[in-house]
Structure 1
Amino acid sequence: MAVRNMKTTFLQVFLLIILSALESYAALDARYYDTTCPQAEQIIAETVLNASMHDPKAAARLLRLFFHDCFIRGCDASVLLDSTLQNKAEKDGPPNMSLAAFYVIDDAKAKLEKACPHTVSCADIIAITARDVVTMNGGPYWSVLKGRKDGRVSRAYETRNLPPPSFNTTQLIQTFAKRGLGVKDMVALSGGHTVGFSHCSSFVPRIHNFSLMHTVDPSMNQEFAQTLKQKCPSPNKNGDAGQFLDSTASKFDNDYYKQILAGKGVLLSDQTLYGDLRRRGFVESFAKDENSFFTEFADSMVKLGNVGVKEEGEVRLNCRVVNN
């Protein structure tokens, strides 16, 4: 009898765990706003399109905003919070000082508050915006799961957890793994750099005094290195100069991977994708088959969008400050 009771109890606990997991998964839903704010995605798309028409770097900036938000405390819009006298927020952490396009999120939020007050979270706006800039620039479309709530905590010192451009293969794999993302996800998400731009400071160590043996990183195409040197002639003073991360930066495509195969990865973290056997196959596959890249990128964006999601909490009235 005791054994039977133990089995029954175990089965009940097991079923509760399964049901809890299913409920957690179901909490995010592509149709989350269908009844409460059916025009939400249209409002966001129109805002993004308008911004893109006036700012050629809007796509890269908004996509980067999504990555930087999800990689710290999860996808909770903590990256949008302004610093206060009592707290220095994420956006003022060293890796985030170059983030931009916050105004696009502000604009979308203001319009959404008029259309359906206190309904659409800032975290969902960031996730939808990231999808829209990809699709509008020729990339894949995916259904964004929605229902995230906004966090109330944002600390600048936590931005040290963002992977810097100088990370090696092992460090990058470990960083992504902590967020439940595998090697394929890491290579696919890196493809977001296809619409990216980098200032000289992020890659100048590769073209000036790289090591005691090499002035230029030997993994870099030497003609390409000379092109970068012309744009960034000084190891320390280059102003706002920089380089797009692939040769078709206005289009979301697989050119980024072709550039890596040619030794023209701008960032060290880009080029090391091909130098590591654990990732080389994915780089070659995505360079050869754009549809394969699109499929994997969309899948990985959905996975990234589920990192650290808050299903209970607040919907900020203003994305820059927590509610009173």
Structure 2
Amino acid sequence: MKNVLIFFLMLWLLFPQLAHAQKNLPGVISPGEIWKDDRGQHIQAHGGGIIKIKNLYYWYGEERREGLDTNFRYVSCYSSADLTNWKHLGDALKLSKPDTVLGKWVLERPKVYYNHRTKKYVMYMHVDGSVRNFKSNEPTVTGGYSYARVGVAVSDLPEGPFKFIRTFRPLNRESRDIGQFVDDDGQAYLIFESRPTKGFFIAKLSDDFLDVKEETCFIQAPLEGGAIVHYKGLYYVIGSELTGWRPNPNKFATAKSLSGPWSEFLDFAPSETNTYSSQSTMMIKISGSKKTTVIYMGDQWKPKTQWDSRYLWMPLEIGDGKLWLPKPAPFKINVKTGESKVFTN
């Protein structure tokens, strides 16, 4: 009897260590944990986006590692065959400050599209900073998010190097946080938040993806971090409220067409969790041989130590106009079958 009690006592003492070890098992994605690449370093792809080319996924994001030259902004690139183990391919873009931007500036939320017609990889990004205001008699420098434009760069290879082309305001509107969406028919769209209009746009890209062709829909909801997925005949859009670095209850809505009408925006996680301290950046649809799984892709920002910001990925409960983000837990995803397995204690 004494030996049995000792056994259960040891098991109880070891349980936290075993649970933690499970989070770091090979092939397991652990939301909110350090996510190491093939070099053993924390992945630096914040505010990012993912595309699939043949059998490889490419993950692009803001490079926030320590020791960067502050005269430039960087976009990193990683590749993976299973969405779990990532190979670092270096910096796909190294960008200097646009001449018209004054003082501090940012490059945020890079997204890459592959154009099957031109065989080019096209990167969009939010470029922002201070500019000079000439509306008054004495020109003044405006606030840090006055540039409000998208930047465009192109490459022949997914890992770059990308050549920067220009910045512009899509649809002649201010543009801040951006998102990407490619529909099942291959048509590409840019999602961008426009502060003066108190909402965000879904805009169709031109045939070469180098420009915005036309407005598809304007959604009168002050949301950023927009992302869209098409699932079983419905479009689902998600976004974050405008609270800067501070997380908030992200929202979702649905529509039968990208042009709307869109349903009422609702929380897709318990409101008190502030979307489990994350902000939306993308939804990844894995259409496998047995199942289609949609993964929520969010950022857990650490503004004072941005290099240590984490990623919250989690399979969504989706269907029939409903969307829900379960409590984050370690999980596996099989990209061939589309099946996921969540490990809960």
Instruction: Say whether the fold is shared (TM-score over 0.5).
Output: no
Structure number with the higher helix fraction is 1
TM-score normalized with structure 2 length? 0.27
Structure number with the higher strand fraction is 2
With a CA cutoff of 8 Å and minimum separation of 6, indicate the structure with the bigger relative contact order: 1
